[in-house]
Structure 1
Amino acid sequence: MMVGAALGVSGCATGYRGPEVTRIQVFKGHRHMQLLHHNKLLKAYDFELGFAPTGHKVQEGDGRTPEGAYIIDRRNPYSRFHLSLGISYPNAADIAYARSKGVHPGGDIFIHGTPSRHIGIPDWTWGCIAVTNDQMDEIYAMVKNGTQINIYA
């Protein structure tokens, strides 16, 4: 337990010695996320979403989580939400669609931990995927930048 906490605080991802996480699957409707090595399930987590979780994210502030294929593109060991992994939203299609609607697509979508003030509150984020801080310690150690993430309705 202490090793995972230490890894989370340091932001070091070298403590995980298992199979590489090659992709992440997020099932919004079931609030279920899977970390996979090719087709083998390594770990699974339940999570909370944004305050308006149904549908694909279209614009900044809509409270939705994007749907589609993205990558983990950044890490923040100093996140105000414990630790966080950035999701590459918006992509070119998201930007084009938002422009066609005359809105800004938003951004800063992450998988992150949960501050104590939000524990037990369902779907409280602005479009991010929130897990417990202990779970985020594991995820942060296991997932590298460049990992594919598929987010499904």
Structure 2
Amino acid sequence: MRRPGASTLLLAALLPVGACAPAPAPAPPLVPAAAPAVEYLLVDKSERTLWAYSRGKVVRTYTGLQFGDAMFGHKQFEGDERTPEGRYVIDTRNPDSRYHLSLRISYPNPQDRAYAASLGRDPGGDIFLHGQPNGLASGRMQGDWTDGCIALANHEIAELYELVEDGTVIDIRP
């Protein structure tokens, strides 16, 4: 019978040590990519749809939007219950809104102010993208009910609130 050589003895001595070594760490779980920042919003009032764009591609679509009681036509005056049409920006956010979160639209712009002033009227303001009224048990209010704002479901505005930064352009089409 052959006697084991020195290298065989060394290997045999190291095997128990290797067997006690900690197992390699498992690969970290795959984390979903962060939601893309939205750079542009497009609202089509007649389709009741809002598209959110990132890098030129639609990344979110929200349907069933609710508007002011007088849905058709561009907002011109305080109390006309119309939703503005044209190009604006999201200029601030309100986590303590009377509605579930809100993103303010920069209406009135200088042209809106000038038009209303030429007729001796107030253009109105405080137009927001927002959720449903706080305290609503669930779901949505029926029909068009805002004073000119754009209402979404609460889960939709919560998502949009996280994706949109102040300064984001919003185009509102008839």
Question: How many angstroms apart in 2 are the aligned matches of 1:123 and 1:101?
Answer: 27
User: Taking every aligned residue pair, what percent have the same amino acid on both sides?
Assistant: 49
- Aligned residue for 1:6? none
Which of 49, 53, 67 aligns to 2:85? It is 67
| 1:75 Cα deviation after fit | 0.4
Q: Number of aligned pairs? A: 138
- Aligned residue for 1:44? 61
The secondary structure found in structure 1 opposite 2:38 is: coil
Which 5+ residue runs of structure 1 have no aligned equivalent?
Answer: 1-15
- Aligned residue for 1:56? 74
- Aligned residue for 1:13? none
Report matched runs for 1:6-45 at 5 Å: 17-45=34-62
Report the TM-score when normalising by structure 1: 0.86
| 1:83 Cα deviation after fit | 0.1
Question: How many angstroms apart in 1 are the aligned matches of 2:119 and 2:159?
Answer: 39
Question: How many angstroms apart in 1 are the aligned matches of 2:100 and 2:34?
Answer: 22
| 1:17 Cα deviation after fit | 2.2
- Aligned residue for 2:102? 84
Question: How many angstroms apart in 2 are the aligned matches of 1:98 and 1:29?
Answer: 25
Which 5+ residue runs of structure 2 have no aligned equivalent?
Answer: 1-32
Output the amino acid matched with 2:88.
Y
Question: How many angstroms apart in 1 are the aligned matches of 2:140 and 2:165?
Answer: 26
Tell me: higher relative CO, structure 1 or 2? Use CA pairs within 8 A at least 6 residues apart: 1
Report matched runs for 1:137-152 at 5 Å: 137-152=158-173
| 1:39 Cα deviation after fit | 2.2
The structure having more radius of gyration, on CA atoms, is 2
The secondary structure found in structure 2 opposite 1:140 is: helix
Question: How many angstroms apart in 2 are the aligned matches of 1:32 and 1:100?
Answer: 33
Question: How many angstroms apart in 2 are the aligned matches of 1:110 and 1:33?
Answer: 13
- Aligned residue for 2:17? none
Q: Is the 8 A contact 2:132 2:141 kept in 1?
A: no
The secondary structure found in structure 2 opposite 1:17 is: coil
| 1:120 Cα deviation after fit | 4.0
Question: How many angstroms apart in 1 are the aligned matches of 2:110 and 2:100?
Answer: 29
Q: Could you list the runs of 4 or more consecutive aligned residues of structure 1 that deviate by over 6 angstroms after TM superposition?
A: none
Question: How many angstroms apart in 2 are the aligned matches of 1:101 and 1:57?
Answer: 14
